[in-house]
Structure 1
Amino acid sequence: MKLVTDVTHCDDLMKALEGFREDAPLIQRWGTALAGRLGGGARLLVAGNGGSAAQAQHLTAELVGRYREDRPAFSALALHADTSSTTAIANDYGVQEIFARQVAAHGRDGDVLMLLSTSGASANLLVAAEEAHRLGMTVWALTGPAPNPLQAAADEALCVEAATGATVQELHLVTVHMLCEAFDQAVAQRDRERCAAGRKRQRRWTASGEDAV
């Protein structure tokens, strides 16, 4: 008997992608803003649970390493990746504190905290958002359908309207890649502007020297 492949998952993804395209300007703005922040010495902290933790670590890997073209490394930490810290904090303070405690340790005024959750209701992410705001950090969230608690707790949120958590996570990965692309574009543009400014200063210096002679 010939088996028929179920393409419902693909259909759900295509349907969700139609609405997701409207979030492209927000992702572009986030990437540009993040390039400015990290280029100025700030850092990005990222957290999620389960599959969202994998997405969070994917993002930090692209920023510390590279996305496509070679460029300088930037500071980005996936908070779940420090297993000794997370397990110690869970044991001593409770699971709800595993990210907030690390935000308190690593976060500074001007840093960015990005939180990923398909449900938008993870208690440990909500507590982390509260701690980040206490420190003066900016909080961005990637969630599933709105409204949800994490959307309300963040400064800005991209809420994926999809039928399943799997589809939400897939579009979170698309977001990660689009964010990195926007980030790299902004870094490259900043470098071009700095080079142009340097050449302009050099021309002024040369002209001034010639005039002096």
Structure 2
Amino acid sequence: MTNQIQQIIQASITTKEKLLSDTIMVQRIETVVNLVTDAFKQGNRLYFCGNGGSAADAQHLAAEFSGRFYKNRRALPAEALHCNTSYLTAVANDYSYDLVYARLVEGIMEKGDVLLGFSTSGNSGNIMLAFEAAKRIGVHTIGFTGSGGGKLKDLSDYLFNIPSDDTPRIQESHIMVGHIICQLVEEKFFA
């Protein structure tokens, strides 16, 4: 079992080393930091969506922005779209689970807002429909996926397609990239 544990840790390290050496991905993180910071400065909001473990990651990162990361500072306007279970179950029951995020995007988001969508496959129907709705409004879309990017690749203004096809390794890197963005936005916005 010790060997297996070491292999799992090494797989996580290898995925992160690939990210570290990808200068395009590192530059994309910097671009998104500037985008989110500018959105906050212009009075816009940051929203997150995902399913399952990715919903937990989305909620985790929304809390980092709206709560605090390193600095004691005012809350930033960030929210995970799946936290209202009455809404989610009503829309899933009355319409379709695929529409749970798109309807919220249409109902509460405004031009200039930013939507981060998490889907390890890049093919989650509800995330794709949310991104389509966001594009119609003029909301910036940032996709967090695995290596191929799936269908979200073409729907994302910025794509973080983690160089792995292993869901746990992808999700670990999603949180790492999200934490980097949060830390740098916080430093830049509250400089």
TM-score by length of 2: 0.93
Cα RMSD (Å): 1.2
Partner residue of 1:70? 72
Partner residue of 1:93? 95
CA contact (8 A) 1:120 1:150 kept: yes
- What is the aligned counterpart of 2:122 among 120, 123, 126? 120
- What is the aligned counterpart of 1:146 among 145, 148, 151? 148
Partner residue of 2:2? 4
Q: CA deviation at 1:148?
A: 1.3
Q: CA deviation at 1:100?
A: 0.3
Cα distance in 2 for residues equivalent to 1:107 and 1:165: 29
Cα distance in 2 for residues equivalent to 1:182 and 1:78: 20
Q: What are the Cα deviations for residues 45-78 of structure 1, in whole angstroms up to 9, with x where unaligned? A: 1100000001101111011111011122111110
**CA 1:178 to 1:121, structure 2 compared with 1: closer, same or farther past 3 Å?**
same
Q: What are the Cα deviations for residues 92-131 of structure 1, in whole angstroms up to 9, with x where unaligned? A: 1101000001111111011111101111000000000000
Secondary structure, counterpart of 2:87 in structure 1? helix
Secondary structure, counterpart of 1:81 in structure 2? coil
Q: CA deviation at 1:5?
A: 4.4
CA contact (8 A) 1:141 1:156 kept: yes
CA contact (8 A) 2:65 2:182 kept: yes
Q: Which AA in structure 1 matches 2:63?
A: A
Identity among equivalent pairs (%):
33
Cα distance in 2 for residues equivalent to 1:47 and 1:4: 36
Q: What are the Cα deviations for residues 137-196 of structure 1, in whole angstroms up to 9, with x where unaligned? A: 11111100124101111111010011410000000010111011110121133xxxxxxx
Structure 1 runs (4+) greater than 6 angstroms displaced: none
Q: CA deviation at 1:8?
A: 1.6
1:176 is the counterpart of 2:175:
no
Cα distance in 2 for residues equivalent to 1:147 and 1:92: 30
1:136 is the counterpart of 2:132:
no
May I ask how many residue pairs the two structures share in their alignment? Answer: 187
Secondary structure, counterpart of 1:185 in structure 2? helix
Cα distance in 2 for residues equivalent to 1:60 and 1:163: 25
CA contact (8 A) 1:28 1:178 kept: no
**CA 1:62 to 1:147, structure 2 compared with 1: closer, same or farther past 3 Å?**
closer
Partner residue of 2:16? 17
Q: Which AA in structure 2 matches 1:62?
A: E
Cα distance in 1 for residues equivalent to 2:26 and 2:182: 12
| Structure 1 gap ranges (5+) | 190-213
